[in-house]
Structure 1
């Protein structure tokens, strides 16, 4: 039975920087790679006084020695880590996916897959591979938009990662599915949950009727079923709006909508107004 709480030998609160520093019992966590401290090339000391030529020569010498002690792998990590964090922040990637992407990139660098290739391409490929491992709804095009390299370069790096890195880490690459994109596009289009469920049911019926997904972009399929599901309702969206959200052309949207409607309604003719602009 507890009558009243009591603090024994409680420390006095710290109110200023000096008191906080004097009571600190731990040190900042060291980096796992790169320099613990950085020796720069300066002409003044901390008080603003100019350094003597002998001191400047000494610090320049120390800076050169310090740079020679860092191997190429640590230098690679030093450059790659901020770029990976930049992409993750731009795309609102959770920390656990960012950690997976970093583990993928580290193994790729240790296996020397980045030698002779662009670091940026492997950074983007590692991030997208981690996204697909965790089945997070982000598109390859969004990763490319955060990079300075074209889609082709990231695709090449992704192929190497899927073939040589993910099996060693025990990870499985799952291609993006239309069902996952239905909910994402539906939320971005502000469509209600009944419309999204109707779109999923329409896609299920089309697949069951024999519609093949080989060679078809999941973005186009997801956008088409949402377009068909909302077409005759109060939540109707224009083809231009849906195509912009899905990052496809209006021609692709109309083509996929025609194919899905054909398989979902085998004995029903396609309403011509559905294919109109």
Structure 2
């Protein structure tokens, strides 16, 4: 094959057809499909790369004035605590220029003023972005965020984080706020979003419940089985009548409380959903239900046996 034929074969045509966010071209393979991945236009079938898109490049700075105007990484304002800014101008209040000694003095004062001068500020400065990250992952409303930040500020003021994990207290404060407002999120969601071990969150949560919430006049509401029934039912796309029947069955079996002492409410909620779905000829496997509920199949079968004994 001649070199000219090779060029014609791999020549990129200007016409591009868009279909479901996918670009179709006719030069790379029989069924080309090009998507933008990490700034590169790549065919998903053959792997050929067409071009690179440079997005979000910041403007360069070459002198002190441009660095000052274009700098975006230095934090100047904070969401907590009183804070003022000393200007870097080399003139006094009358407009006259100041000498080099006073200019150096005010430069040092400005640097100290912008720094984190207390351990409490350093703690909050580290915790604030972490809390925002977890909240954005869980897509929580603003009132839950405000309550979580209020709880953590009280934790930091009491210095409960000394010798303990800040990440654990951030996750525990957020979960306490979720339970205070009875928002439909479980502890597993917070553990996955914060990437913090469960036992660390448990230790921090126990301190918050004992020492912080009574002072803030906040009441911790443990998660109930009824909330889990609705949550699992929605995740399984079950109709509302099946969820209501599951709640009715739950009310019947919950009368004998001695059987459920020490049992995980997730297992009870999953078991009543499975029994009602089976009665209504809804195909739900124990594996899928156990995966959604965060329990094992053995636990699910054990709770089902206990319910059948009672009914």
TM-score by length of 2: 0.65
Contact 1:206 1:261 (8 Å CA) reproduced? no
Q: Does residue 145 in structure 1 map to residue 200 in structure 2? A: no
Instruction: For residues 141-166 of structure 1, give each alpha carbon's deviation from its aligned partner in whole angstroms, at most 9, with x where no partner exists.
Output: 11111223311111000000000000
262, 281, 284: which one aligns with 1:215:
262
SS of the equivalent of 2:127 reads helix
Please give the alpha-carbon distance, in whole angstroms, between the structure 1 residues aligned to 2:148 and 2:166: 14
Note the 1:184-195 alignment, pairs <5 A.
184-195=231-242
CA distance in 2, matches of 1:119, 1:34: 23
**Superposition deviation, residue 59 in structure 1:** 11
Higher RCO structure, 1 or 2 (CA under 8 Å, sep 6+): 1
Instruction: Determine which of 171, 175, 190 is the counterpart of 1:124.
Output: 171
Contact 2:84 2:113 (8 Å CA) reproduced: no
Check if 1:31 corresponds to 2:79: yes
Structure 2 gap segments, 5+ residues each = 1-75, 88-103
Q: CA deviation at 1:256?
A: 0.9
Whether 1:106 and 2:153 are equivalent positions in the alignment is yes
Q: Out of 272, 282, 289, which is 1:225 matched to?
A: 272
1:165 aligns with 2:197: no
Q: Is the 8 A contact 2:154 2:212 kept in 1?
A: yes
Distance in 2, matches of 1:185 and 1:29, equals 43
Count the aligned residue pairs.
220
Instruction: Give secondary structure in 2 for the equivalent of 1:191.
Output: coil
Which of 111, 132, 135 is the aligned partner of 1:88? 135
Cα deviation, residue 123, structure 1: 0.1
Instruction: Write the distance in 2 (CA, Å) between the matches of 1:170 and 1:138.
Output: 22
What is the distance in 1 between the residues matched to 2:305 and 2:227?
A: 21
Measure, in 1, the Cα distance between the counterparts of 2:284 and 2:214: 42
Spell out, residue by residue over 1:103-132, the C-alpha distance to the aligned partner (whole angstroms, 9 max, x if none): 111101111111111110000000011111
Q: In 1, distance between residues paired with 2:221 and 2:260? A: 15
Q: Which of the two has greater strand per residue?
A: 2
Name the CA shift for 1:182/1:32 in 2 (closer, same or farther; >3 Å). Answer: same
SS in 1 for 2:121: helix
TM-score in terms of structure 1 length: 0.73
Cα root mean square deviation, aligned: 2.6
Q: 1:215: how far off?
A: 0.7
For residues 16-64 of structure 1, the C-alpha deviation after alignment (integer angstroms, 9 at most, x for no partner) is xxxxxxxxxxxx986323866699xxxxxxxxxxxxxxxxx99995686
Of structures 1 and 2, the larger Rg is shown by: 2
